[in-house]
C-alpha cells in the first residue's frame, strides 16, 4: 500500500502483525500500577471498542500484557510501517488543504528526530502526548483525509470523536486535552484516567500539534539567558566567560545548551538519560559530553579562563554538579533547572544516588520509596543552590515546578514571609515584565512545502518587516525589537531546524500581523508554498499558570483561568484553522490551563482577513488582562493598541495611592 492508501485505511480490517519492541528507541518509563482489577477490565473494554468484535479475542491478551508491562495500552501493533516525518503538504491525501496541513503537523510531532518517546506517541516533557494510542492516530489521520471545508473534527484527549457538520469559517479541528473536573486534577488522577484511556496530558504544544522540536523554546531560552545576564551585568559587560548551570536535555529542555551558545556563555547542562544526551549531541545542540565530575571541573575552569562560548552536557545527576562546583569553588553566574518536575513521580525528575535504570525500576515497582528519594534529592539540590546563591549566583525557576516541588519536599526555598519562594520565576523577573506585558511572545511558522529555500525566504522577509517597524518603534520596546532582528538574522547559521522547516520569532501583535501579511502576499504571488502559523501556548494570552506565565500578575487573579479560555474561544471564531485547550503543561496537571491555535496561510483574501482579526485578538486579550492587573508595560501596550485600532476599547485601571490606607 502507498502512504496515501495507508492513511485512508484508518484502522485496518485485517490486523497487522505484532511489532517487536525496539530497544534502540527512547521509550517512556513504565507507569505505576494504579488500576484495580475491575478498572483494568474497563481499560481493556475501552481499548477494544476501536476494533471489530472478531479481533477482540486476540487483542485482549495483547493489550492486557501492555497494560501490565508498561502501565498503558499503546497498541504497538498498530504503529504504521511508513516513516514518520512532516512530508510536503501535497503528499497528503485529502479534500481540504487545511486538513492536510494538520496531518503534516501531527506527523512532525511524532518524527523520531523530534519526539521524546515516539512509539508511545509522546512528544516531550515525559508525558506530553499527541494521542493515547495508535488506533487514535490512524483514525484521526483518516478523518482528516476525508474532511471537507464544511466539517470540524472534534478531539477529546487524543480520541477523535468524529467529523461534525460546521461551515467554512469554523475551525477544522477543536482539541481538548485533560479537561477533567477540577477536584480530579491531582497527579494520580492523571495516572488513573490515562491508564483507563479516557484522558491524556497534552503538555502545551504536543497535544495541539504545534511542537517544532527544541527550536520551539530556544529563542525564549536565549532571551531569558541574555536578559538574566543583563540583570547581573556590571558596566555593560556581556556573558563572555560567565557560567550557566542547569539540567535537562530531553524535549523542551534540550534547547538550553544551544541558547547558551547563542547568548555567548559557558553552559553546563546535566542529563541522566544517555539516549537524550546522545540525541542532543548528535544533533549539534550541545558541543561536548563529559561523564566525570573531575573532568568537568577541569574543563569549566579552562573555559572560564579563555572566556569560551561552549556548551557541555554532563551525563549524570545535576545535584552532583551543584555540590561538586560548591566544593571546588567554581563560581556559577546563572543557575536554573529544567527537568520535568510537573511530572516528578513518573520520569520527570531522577533522584541523585540512583542509576537511571534503578530509578526506573523503583518508579514502577516501589513508587513510595521513589517519591521519598525524589524529595530527598530536591532537598539536597536546593541546599547546594542556596550555598551558591550566598556567593552571588543568580538563580531563577524555569517554570518547571522546581521550586513548587522542592517546597513540597520541605526544602529550604521559602522567603522570610513564608508565602513566596526565595527565588523568582523567570517570568516574574524576565519574560513577564520585559516581553509578555508588551505583547512579545513565541510566534511560529512552518513552511508546508518542506523546502529549506521557503524557510530562508520567510526568514529574510520577517527580518525586513521587523527592520522597517524598528525605525518608528517606541523606546519601551526597542530592545525587544533589536534582540529579535538579531535572532532572525542568525537563525540559519545557528541550524535550529529539527523536523519540519519551522521557525520561531518573538513578536508583538503588530509584528505578527505584519509578518503574516507579508507571507500571505508572497504565497499569493507564488514565491513560496503555504505556511502554517502558530505559537507556543507559553505566551502573552495563551496560558494561566500562577507559578509561570501569570506569575507577574499581582492583583490576586493569577490563579484564575479566564484568559486562556477566552483566548481559545476568541481565536475559534476569528479564523483559526484549529484551536486547543489543555489542563496541564510545563508545570503539571491541575496547575495550569493553556490554549493554542494553528492557522494556514494559502495566499487567499480569506486568509488575509482571518490573520488580521485573529492575531490581533490572540495577543491583545492577554495585554488587556495584564494591564487590568496594573502592570505598567501592559498599560502602555494596550493604550498604544487602542490608538491604532478605534474599535478596541479596553477597561483601564485607576491607580490607588498608598496614602489612602493611612487611616
Task: Extract the annotated binding site for NAD(+).
Answer: 125-126, 203, 271, 398, 586
Q: Can you tell me whether residue 214 is helix, strand or coil?
A: strand
CA–CA separation, 175 and 160 (whole Å): 9
CA–CA separation, 512 and 533 (whole Å): 10
Closest to 248 (Cα-Cα) out of 160, 336, 354, 156: 336
Distances (CA, A) of 397 to 209, 331, 553: 27, 19, 16
For Cα atoms 234, 298, 257, give the angle at the middle one, nearest 5 degrees. Answer: 60
Would the CA dihedral through 401, 407, 410, 415 be positive or negative?
positive
Known binding residues are 125-126, 203, 271, 398, 586
Closest to 324 (Cα-Cα) out of 397, 393, 387: 387
What the block records as the C-alpha cell of 388 is: 551558591
Phi, psi for residue 430 in degrees, rounded to 5: -125, -70
Closest to 533 (Cα-Cα) out of 549, 514, 512, 518: 512
278-296 burial, b at 16+ Cβ within 10 Å, e below that, comes to bbbbeeebbbebbeebeeb
75-108 burial, b at 16+ Cβ within 10 Å, e below that, comes to bbbbbbeeebbbbebeebbbebbbbbbbbbbbbb
- 321: Cβ contacts below 8 Å, ≥ 6 apart: 245, 247, 268, 270, 293, 296, 314
Burial of 453 (0-12, 13-18, 19+ CB in 10 A): exposed
Closest to 59 (Cα-Cα) out of 8, 121, 39, 46: 46
Distances (CA, A) of 598 to 123, 252, 578, 616: 17, 19, 5, 14
CA–CA separation, 543 and 220 (whole Å): 15
What the block records as the C-alpha cell of 290 is: 563529559
What the block records as the C-alpha cell of 657 is: 495611592
Amino acid at each position: 500500500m502507498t502512504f496515501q492508501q495507508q492513511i485512508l485505511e484508518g484502522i485496518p480490517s485485517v490486523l497487522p502483525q505484532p511489532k517487536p519492541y525496539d530497544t534502540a528507541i527512547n521509550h517512556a518509563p513504565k507507569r505505576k500500577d494504579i488500576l484495580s482489577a475491575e478498572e483494568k477490565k474497563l481499560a481493556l473494554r475501552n481499548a477494544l471498542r476501536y476494533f471489530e468484535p472478531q479481533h477482540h479475542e486476540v487483542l485482549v491478551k495483547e493489550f492486557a500484557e501492555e497494560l501490565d508491562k508498561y502501565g498503558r495500552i499503546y497498541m504497538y501493533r498498530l504503529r504504521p510501517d511508513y516513516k514518520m516525518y512532516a512530508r510536503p503538504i501535497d503528499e497528503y491525501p485529502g479534500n481540504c488543504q487545511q486538513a492536510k496541513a494538520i496531518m503534516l503537523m501531527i506527523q512532525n510531532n511524532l518524527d523520531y528526530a523530534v519526539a521524546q518517546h515516539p512509539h508511545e506517541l509522546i512528544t516531550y516533557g515525559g508525558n506530553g502526548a499527541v494521542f493515547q494510542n495508535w488506533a487514535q492516530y490512524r483514525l484521526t489521520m483518516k478523518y482528516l483525509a476525508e474532511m471537507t471545508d464544511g466539517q470540524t473534527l472534534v478531539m477529546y484527549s487524543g480520541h477523535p470523536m468524529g467529523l461534525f457538520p460546521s461551515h467554512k469559517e469554523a475551525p477544522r479541528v477543536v482539541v481538548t486535552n485533560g479537561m477533567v473536573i477540577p477536584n480530579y486534577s491531582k497527579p494520580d488522577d492523571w495516572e488513573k484516567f490515562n491508564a483507563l484511556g479516557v484522558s491524556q496530558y497534552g503538555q502545551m504544544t504536543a497535544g495541539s500539534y504545534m511542537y517544532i522540536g527544541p527550536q520551539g523554546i530556544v529563542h525564549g531560552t536565549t532571551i531569558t539567558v541574555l536578559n538574566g545576564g543583563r540583570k547581573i551585568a556590571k558596566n555593560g559587560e556581556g556573558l563572555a566567560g560567565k557560567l550557566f548551570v542547569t539540567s535537562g536535555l530531553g524535549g523542551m529542555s534540550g534547547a538550553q545548551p544551544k541558547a547558551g551558545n547563542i547568548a555567548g556563555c559557558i553552559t553546563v547542562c546535566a542529563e541522566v538519560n544517555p539516549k537524550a544526551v546522545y540525541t542532543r549531541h548528535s544533533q549539534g545542540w550541545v558541543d561536548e559530553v563529559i561523564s566525570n565530575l573531575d573532568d568537568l571541573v577541569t574543563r569549566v575552569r579552562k573555559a572560564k579562563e579563555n572566556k569560551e562560548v561552549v556548551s557541555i552536557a554532563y551525563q549524570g545527576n545535576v545535584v552532583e554538579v551543584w555540590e561538586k562546583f560548591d566544593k571546588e569553588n567554581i563560581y556559577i553566574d546563572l543557575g536554573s533547572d529544567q527537568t520535568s518536575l510537573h511530572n516528578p513521580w513518573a520520569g520527570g525528575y531522577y533522584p541523585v544516588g540512583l542509576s537511571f535504570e534503578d530509578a526506573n525500576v523503583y518508579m514502577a515497582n516501589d513508587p513510595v520509596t521513589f517519591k521519598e528519594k525524589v524529595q530527598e534529592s530536591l532537598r539536597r539540590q536546593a541546599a547546594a543552590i542556596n550555598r551558591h546563591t550566598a556567593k552571588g549566583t543568580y538563580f531563577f525557576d524555569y517554570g518547571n515546578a522546581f521550586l513548587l516541588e522542592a517546597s513540597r519536599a520541605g526544602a529550604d526555598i521559602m522567603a522570610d514571609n513564608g508565602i513566596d519562594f526565595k527565588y523568582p520565576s523567570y517570568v516574574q523577573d524576565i519574560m513577564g515584565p520585559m516581553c509578555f506585558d508588551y505583547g512579545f511572545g513565541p510566534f511560529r511558522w512552518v513552511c508546508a512545502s518542506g523546502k529549506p529555500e521557503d524557510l530562508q525566504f520567510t526568514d529574510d522577509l520577517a527580518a525586513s518587516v521587523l527592520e522597517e517597524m524598528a525605525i518608528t518603534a517606541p523606546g519601551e520596546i526597542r530592545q525587544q525589537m533589536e534582540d529579535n532582528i538579531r535572532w532572525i538574522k542568525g537563525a540559519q547559521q545557528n541550524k535550529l531546524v529539527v523536523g519540519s522547516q519551522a521557525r520561531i520569532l518573538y513578536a508583538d501583535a503588530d509584528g505578527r500581523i505584519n509578518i503574516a501579511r507579508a507571507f500571505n502576499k508572497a504565497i499569493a504571488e507564488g514565491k513560496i508554498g503555504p505556511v502554517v502559523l502558530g505559537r507556543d501556548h507559553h505566551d502573552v494570552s495563551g496560558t494561566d499558570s500562577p507559578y509561570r506565565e501569570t506569575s507577574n500578575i499581582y492583583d490576586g487573579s493569577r490563579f484564575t483561568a479566564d484568559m486562556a479560555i477566552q483566548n481559545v474561544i476568541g481565536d475559534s471564531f476569528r479564523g483559526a484553522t484549529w484551536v486547543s485547550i489543555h489542563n496541564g503543561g510545563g508545570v503539571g496537571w491541575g496547575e495550569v490551563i493553556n490554549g493554542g491555535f494553528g492557522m494556514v496561510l494559502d495566499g487567499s483574501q480569506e486568509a488575509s482577513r482571518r490573520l488580521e482579526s485573529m492575531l490581533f485578538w490572540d495577543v491583545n486579550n492577554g495585554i488587556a488582562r495584564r494591564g487590568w492587573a496594573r502592570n505598567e508595560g501592559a498599560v502602555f501596550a494596550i493604550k498604544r493598541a487602542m490608538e491604532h485600532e478605534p474599535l478596541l476599547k479596553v477597561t483601564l485601571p485607576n491607580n490607588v495611592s498608598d496614602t489612602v490606607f493611612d487611616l
